[in-house]
Structures are given as structure tokens and as C-alpha cells.
Structure 1
Amino acid sequence: MEDIQSILDLRFQGIKINYLYVCKRKLWLFSKNITFENTSDKVLLGKVLHEYSYPKETKRDVLIDNLIMIDILSDGNVREVKYSSKMKEADIMQVIYYLYYLKQKGIKKHGIINYPKEKRKEVLELTAEYEEKIKKALKEIEEITARTTPPPAKKQKICKSCAYYEFCWG
């Protein structure tokens, strides 16, 4: 039987959940403080979009337990603002993780991912299936980040727009 407490003890930044679904190598590098986001034009565009979208929202960039940063809290919703839906599964799992994390603290919320550039949104609920998926993801993140060497580079469509492209393929 699985040790529930050990799963509850697995706590990571939401971006690590996102990176797990985008690229395991990127997750490992980020976990070792090897970061290139500050040099990426795509990351900068995302930050600008986040900064100027939904200006009337007052609860922005909410930091919880010095661990997870929620873009917007409003009307019982956890909202994330994303530049593009190209990495939709990663975006969904990041928000699901926030909902799961808050549930462990006795707080029930719904999730919304806003894609303002695309003028669309994704509405999410924390289901039993998602909870199981998150538990597996947390274990996988623990395994990947505990490694002494990064997973091998794996060519994907998103590589050319990744901040780590030169590191992996240059």
C-alpha cells in the first residue's frame, strides 16, 4: 500500500510539474539551478502578457508556502495566464497541482487557464483521476531531480523555442 504521508511530503514548485510534462531534461536542469529563462524572448513575452492581462484583478502573483506562485486568485478560482496552448497538458497539470496542493491544506478551488492571446480558456476540476496523475508526477519529479546526471536530450517540436536549446543542442 502506498505511503500517503510520503506523497503529501512531496512538494515542488508548480513550474516543475509543468516542466515534467514539457521536457524531463529541462526539469532536471532547472532543479539544479541551471536556468536560461532570463535570456529567452518567449519567456519575456509570457511575462509581459501576464503583467498586462486582466489588470482589474487584485489578487495577483499569490505566493503560497514560499513554494507555489498562483497568477490570479478570483471568485474561488485559481487562474494561470499562459502565452499559448501549445503545451496544454503541461499547463493543465500545473493548475491541477495547485488545486491538489490547496486541497491538502483544506482549500477547495476550481482552476482556469487563460490564453488571452488566443482569447480562450480551459476550466478545470480536481478529479480522482487527476489526483492519481499528480501523485505519480510528484514521484517522478522526485526521481528525476535526485539523479546525478540529466536525462538525455530528446528532440521535440518545442526545442527550437526553448530557453535551453543551445545548452542541449548547441
Structure 2
Amino acid sequence: MVKQKIGGLHIQYFEVCPRKLWLYSKQISFETEHEKVIEGTLLHEQSYARKEKELQLDSAVIDVLDEEYVQETKLSSKMQKADELQLLYYLYLLKSRGIEKKGKIAYTKERKVVEVLLDEMNEKRIKQVIANIYTILEAENAPKLKKLPYCKNCAYYDFCYALEEE
């Protein structure tokens, strides 16, 4: 069995909700019409009108790579832990190719910038996350539903809660 390539969204979804990761990996997608996804896509297109700043690594697309930093732009820091994990993954991919950089996340709505470093502890962490992601992707069934505070804002909400009683 050929392993599916992991991209930045896989990392994000793993941190946010393993069930969402599994559904996404099976091409069960409701996100193209979801308001937050559309808003994020517009931000990406406006922030990086010059596509030559993007870099494709396997299934990952890095927003901006300059002399010192890998840079990502996000709307808000509500999912900062997931954003940082995604950026650590990009730093890890680059390091595996002999390129060492620091990371930076710009949160546009808050005008806030967060620096992310791939130190030894974070490298071990990202390797474990990758292993955990493959375990989820190879599972026959989706992980059990886990009610989270942000479920109601998720594109998969109706799918996950279709059989749940309120």
C-alpha cells in the first residue's frame, strides 16, 4: 500500500480534529462552500498575488520562503497551536532537504506575528504527529466523534452531527 502524501492541511486537521483529518483524507469534503475556508482562500490570494513566493514540497505548499524565514499568513490565532504545528512540519520538510529556516506566522486580523523554531523537541514532536496521522489515514473507520468547542463552526458539522440528538 502506497502511503498518502501529507500536506499542511493534514497537519492542521490532525491537531484540530482527527475525525476531520480522516474525512478529508477520504475526499469527503464540504469545505469548498464553507464561509471560513472561502475567507482564508481570499486572504491567501490577496496576500500572495505573486505566486513565485510559494514553494511546493511534496503535498505541502509553503506561502513564502525568504532568506531567513518560512512565512505563513492566517486570519486569526484561534487555531494557533495547529498553525504552529503546520509550520513546524514545513520546517521539518525543509530540514530534511538540508535547508534550515525559522518560521513566522502573521495573523492579519490581530496584527500579530509569532515566531516558530524547529528545535530538537519540536522535531521529535512533528515526527510523532506524522506517525499518528498515518495511523488515522490507514484506519478503516473514522475516529469517534468528539464534541469540541469549535464544532459548530466546522464545515463537517452537519455530517458529524446528522445522527446526534440535540
Correspondence for 1:133 among 125, 134, 137: 125
Against the structure 1 CA distance between its residues 59 and 118, is the aligned structure 2 distance closer, same or farther, given a 3 Å change threshold? farther
Against the structure 1 CA distance between its residues 167 and 60, is the aligned structure 2 distance closer, same or farther, given a 3 Å change threshold? farther
Percent identity between matched residues is: 43
Q: In the comparison of the two structures, how many residue pairs are matched?
A: 160
Across the aligned residues of Structure 1 and Structure 2, the Cα RMSD in angstroms comes to 1.7
**Match of 2:104, SS?**
strand
Q: For 1:18 and 1:115, locate their aligned partners in 2 and report how far apart those are by CA, in whole Å.
A: 16
Q: For 1:17 and 1:125, locate their aligned partners in 2 and report how far apart those are by CA, in whole Å.
A: 16
**Match of 1:152, SS?**
coil
Instruction: Give structure 1 stretches of 5+ with no counterpart.
Output: 1-8
**Match of 2:64, SS?**
strand
Q: For 1:112 and 1:122, locate their aligned partners in 2 and report how far apart those are by CA, in whole Å.
A: 6
Matched AA of 1:92: E
1:62 equivalenced with 2:55 (yes/no): yes
Deviations 1:17-55 (A, max 9, x none): 111100000000011111111010010011112222365
Correspondence for 2:43 among 45, 49, 70: 49
Instruction: Give structure 2 stretches of 5+ with no counterpart.
Output: none
**Match of 1:114, SS?**
strand
Correspondence for 1:72 among 64, 70, 91: 64
Q: For 2:5 and 2:83, locate their aligned partners in 1 and report how far apart those are by CA, in whole Å.
A: 18
**Match of 1:157, SS?**
coil
Question: What TM-score, normalized by structure 2, do the two folds share?
Answer: 0.90
